[in-house]
Amino acid sequence: MSELYQKRVKIHPRRIDGLFQRLRVLTIFLTLTFYYVLPWLSWNGRQAILFDLPHRKFYILGITFWPQDFIMLSWLLITAAFGLFFITTLAGRLWCGYTCPQTVWTKIFMWIEYLTEGTRTQRMKLDKSKLSWRKLWRRSTKHVLWLGVAFLTAFTFVGYFTPIRELTVKVLHNVLGPWEIFWLAFFTIATYFNAGWMREQICLYVCPYGRFQGVMFDTNTMIISYDKARGEPRGSRKQGSVPQLQGLGDCVNCSLCVQVCPTGIDIRDGLQVECIGCAACIDACDSIMDKMKYPKGLVRYTTENNLANKPTKILRPRLIANGILIIVMLCAISFALFTRVPLRLDIARDRNHLYREMPAGTIQNSYLLKVINMSQQPHTYRISISGLDNLTHSIPDTITLAAEQIMDLPISVEVAPSSIQQPNSVLYFTITDINNHRNSVTTKSRFIGPRS
Ligand code: SF4
Ligand code: SF4
């Protein structure tokens, strides 16, 4: 009976050096530095990037984003998705190979494995060897280091959602709250299992992005590919021999490209969904080509058209349309960001009384104004009301709100009956920062009067 899932064969990728692996180390270094350092940076005395979920506020470089601004965040996520489609159509799995967190942390964990358990051959031997003190020591050192990195990753991640300096003090004094303990434990375990144990299984069976790629690829997409026309027929030969004289192609069938592959595939079998675009096989094959004194690039970044000796077209309709969409979205987000007024005025009418007839003969309506200073500085505002003639109101001349303060302001508006043309009139409430008139918002409400 065939099994539902294929049994996992443990992969021991061989370490390889080369141009693309050095590029990967550089991008991994940059992304990790960015990830670990960012929550420690301050802006105006506050954590520069903080997603304060309990208070539903995001602090990003001096700007406070309130729930009302979250539409911008969804635009940003949509733009990022289009950006990923664009890069994939143009250059294949660059994201997977160089910047995806799964790849980045797996690479770190593999490096720890190399430091503690040795080369590919030594690791395979260790796997097969019986339990000994040496094996126990190597294994436990590896797992302790893995857990250390996993905890640091989880700690940093939680530090994006709760002030990281306060979190550090809490960890050091062992006074964490239940949720902090839960999330720290959750992300530590998730990182440890994903990067230490699951590795390529996440790319193969969990990540949906890998499955979408077929839709985004075309014959002009840059992929990592083996040049069959040049490499076949493959076969071993003596160093320095001329392959053509032996009826061979350039592939010496050394299998180094397979040994270095973190997903255990053979690039010579063609484009496969398992390929995460790490370019290890390019560096491996180039090192062999160097030894054999053959030109590099038997395995290389290329396109299907190029391999078929057809011209590669970089600018194509799908790519152009995608690029235009990204530019339009980025312009819309920038416009929304630069014209954003960090001030909000919500108005609720008194629902208990439609209106009151005052002893002086005027008609009175009551409102509850909710003023929100959405900025990180205190501001003084003036509120004005328009829409009806000869109105009087109980609003103070100016109001001052501290940074991020929400003020409830009950007020009443009185209008002479002669000014009321209809029982239901529109009133405009305008609030303006007295020091910056660009910071101004107007909200509509209703003034109800008696039917004449
Ligand atoms: S075939 Fe393997 S080694 Fe080559 S790029 Fe793909 S995942 Fe990396
Ligand atoms: S590394 Fe290059 S030469 Fe060696 S098997 Fe792979 S493709 Fe052939």
Q: Assess whether the C-beta atom of 278 lies below 6 angstroms from ligand 1.
A: yes
Which of the four pLDDT bands, split at 50, 70 and 90, describes residue 451? confident
> Alpha-carbon torsion 337, 341, 344, 345, what sign?
negative
Going from the Cα of 357 to the center of ligand 1, the distance in angstroms, rounded, reads 81
Mean pLDDT (the chain, rounded)? 92
Going from the Cα of 188 to the center of ligand 1, the distance in angstroms, rounded, reads 28
Specify the pLDDT at position 254. Answer: 95
pLDDT reading at 1 higher than 60: no
What residue owns the CA closest to ligand 1's atom 7?
275
Specify the pLDDT at position 4. Answer: 63
Using an 8 Å Cβ cutoff, are 451 and 354 in contact? no
Which of the four pLDDT bands, split at 50, 70 and 90, describes residue 76? very high
If one residue of 230, 237, 268, 293 were mutated to test the ligand 2 pocket, choosing by the most ligand atoms within 8 A of its CB, it would be 268
If one residue of 265, 285, 301 were mutated to test the ligand 1 pocket, choosing by the most ligand atoms within 8 A of its CB, it would be 265
If one residue of 20, 95, 106, 261 were mutated to test the ligand 1 pocket, choosing by the most ligand atoms within 8 A of its CB, it would be 261
Q: In this predicted model, what pLDDT tens digit does every residue of 157-197 receive, in sequence order?
A: 999 999 999 999 999 999 999 999 999 999 999 999 999 99
Q: Which residue has the tokens 């190979």?
A: 97
Q: Which residue has the tokens 């027929």?
A: 233
Tokens standing for 307? Answer: 């391999």
Question: pLDDT > 90: what percent of the chain?
Answer: 77
**What is the SS3 assignment for the chain?**
CCCCCCCCCCCCCCCCCCHHHHHHHHHHHHHHHHHHHHHHCEECCEECEEEECCCCEEEECCEEECHHHHHHHHHHHHHHHHHHHHHHHHHCCHHHHHHCHHHHHHHHHHHHHHHHHCCHHHHHHHHHCCCCHHHHHHHHHHHHHHHHHHHHHHHHHHHCCCCHHHHHHHHHCCCCCHHHHHHHHHHHHHHHHHHHHHCHHHHHHHCHHHHHHHHHCCCCCCEEEECHHHHCCCCCCCCCCCHHHHCCCCCCCCCHHHHCCCCCCCHHHCCCCCCCCCCHHHHHHHHHHHHHCCCCCCEEEECHHHHCCCCCCCCCHHHHHHHHHHHHHHHHHHHHHHCCCCEEEEEEECCCCCCEECCCCCEEEEEEEEEEECCCCCEEEEEEEECCCCEEECCCCCEEECCCCEEEEEEEEEECHHHCCCCEEEEEEEEEECCEEEEEEEEEEEEECCCC
Confidence (pTM): 0.85
Q: In this predicted model, what pLDDT tens digit does every residue of 408-446 receive, in sequence order?
A: 999 999 999 888 888 889 999 999 999 999 999 999 999
What residue owns the CA closest to ligand 1's atom 4?
281
Q: Which residue has the tokens 């434990």?
A: 185
Going from the Cα of 297 to the center of ligand 1, the distance in angstroms, rounded, reads 14
Going from the Cα of 288 to the center of ligand 2, the distance in angstroms, rounded, reads 7
